[in-house]
Amino acid sequence: MTVFDWLICGSGVTGAALGYELQRSGFRVGIIDRSPQPANATRFSYGGVPYWSGTTELMQTLCQEAIGRYPALSEELGDDIGFREIKLLLTLSPEDDRDAVAQSYHNCATVPQWCDRQTAVELEPLLNLEAISGAFVLDHAQVDPESLVRGYLQAFSRSGGTLIYETVIELLEQGVRTEHHSIGANGVILCAGGQGRRLLKRSGISFPLFFPMPN
Ligand SMILES: Cc1cc2nc3c(=O)[nH]c(=O)nc-3n(C[C@H](O)[C@H](O)[C@H](O)COP(=O)(O)OP(=O)(O)OC[C@H]3O[C@@H](n4cnc5c(N)ncnc54)[C@H](O)[C@@H]3O)c2cc1C
C-alpha cells in the first residue's frame, strides 16, 4: 500500500494549492480527485481575488501576502494563470440606502470609494445609467480559475507529487478507501468542497463546521 505523508482529497483550488505547497516543502504528497476535469466550484468560479475584503488581522495579512504573490505566480508555476488587476464596481439601485451599504464594508481592509452613476458608466459602459444611483469602487483582481488549478497541478507533478483519479468512498484513520482499493497516508486533508460533509458523515466523523460571516 502506497504511503504518503499527506493525501489530499480534492483537486479544486484548495487541494491543488495546498498540494503544491506541501510537495515543494519536501513532503510526499498525493492528490486524489474523482476526475481530471471535475465539475467543481472552482471551475464555475469567477476567479475574483477580493484581497481588499479581510476583516480580521489574520485575513488582512493573508490577503496582502496573496496579492503580493499573484503577479509572479504564472512565472512560478510555468503557466499563465490569467492574473489581472481590475476595478470592482458594487452598483446600487436608486432605492438602496448608500450609508447602510457603506457601513457593511467598514471593517474591510480597504473601504470602497463612492462614485456617481455617470462615472460608474464611464468605468463600465454596459451598466444601465437609469437603473443605478452610483457604485462603490474597489481595486480588485482576477485569475482564470481553471488555468490556476492546471498550473498548480502541473507544478505539483513536476515536483514529484502524485495525482490519482479515483473516487474516495471513505476516510480511514491512515488513508482513504476508494472504489478499487485503499491508499495509505500518514495524514489525510479533506479539500472536497461541498462534498466534504457527505464524506465525513459516511466515514462516521462528526465535528462542528464553522463558516465566517462578513462583519
Ligand atoms: C458561480 C460561482 C462563482 C464564484 N466566484 C468566486 C470568486 O469570484 N472569488 C472567489 O474567491 N470565490 C468564488 N467562488 C467560490 C469558489 O469557487 C470556491 O470557494 C472554491 O472554488 C472552492 O474550492 P475547493 O477546492 O474548496 O472546492 P471545489 O472546487 O468544489 O473542489 C472540490 C473537489 O473535491 C473533489 N471531490 C469531492 N468529493 C470527492 C470524492 N469523494 N472523491 C474524490 N474527489 C472528490 C471534487 O471532484 C472537486 O474537484 C465562486 C463559486 C461559484 C459557484
Taking alpha carbons only, the member of 188, 203, 215 closest to residue 8 is 188
pLDDT at 207: 77
pLDDT per 10-residue tile (average), the chain, 215 residues: 90 98 98 95 95 95 96 97 96 96 92 95 96 96 98 98 97 94 96 91 83 58
CATH of domain 1-41+146-215: 3.50.50.60
pLDDT at 208: 75
pLDDT at 213: 61
Q: Are 98 and 206 in contact (CB under 8 A)?
A: no
Instruction: Say whether pTM exceeds 0.75.
Output: yes
DSSP category for residue 131: G
> What is the grid cell recorded at 14?
484548495
HEC profile for 70-113? Answer: HHHHHHHHCCCCCCEEEEEEEEECCCCCHHHHHHHCCCCCCCCE
CA distances from 23 to 31, 38, 159 (A): 10, 22, 7
Distance between CA 162 and CA 112 in Å, rounded? Answer: 43
Q: List pLDDT tens digits, range 159-204.
A: 999 999 999 999 999 999 999 999 999 999 999 998 898 999 999 9
Task: Looking at the CA of residue 48, tell me the nearest atom of ligand 1.
Answer: 8
Q: Are 8 and 30 in contact (CB under 8 A)?
A: yes
Q: Whose CA is nearest to atom 44 of ligand 1?
A: 33
Query: What is the 196 CA–ligand 1 centroid distance (Å)?
Result: 11
What does the domain layout of the chain look like in residue ranges?
Answer: 1-41+146-215, 48-143
pLDDT at 215: 46
pLDDT at 17: 98
User: What sign does the CA torsion over 91, 97, 102, 104 have?
Assistant: negative
Residues constituting the chain? 215
Q: Which residues line ligand 1 (CB under 6 A)?
A: 9-15, 32-34, 38, 40-42, 44-48, 167-168, 191-193, 195, 199
Q: Whose CA is nearest to atom 25 of ligand 1?
A: 12
Q: Are 129 and 76 in contact (CB under 8 A)?
A: no
Q: Are 140 and 48 in contact (CB under 8 A)?
A: yes
The distance of Cα 185 from the centroid of its chain, to the nearest Å, equals 24
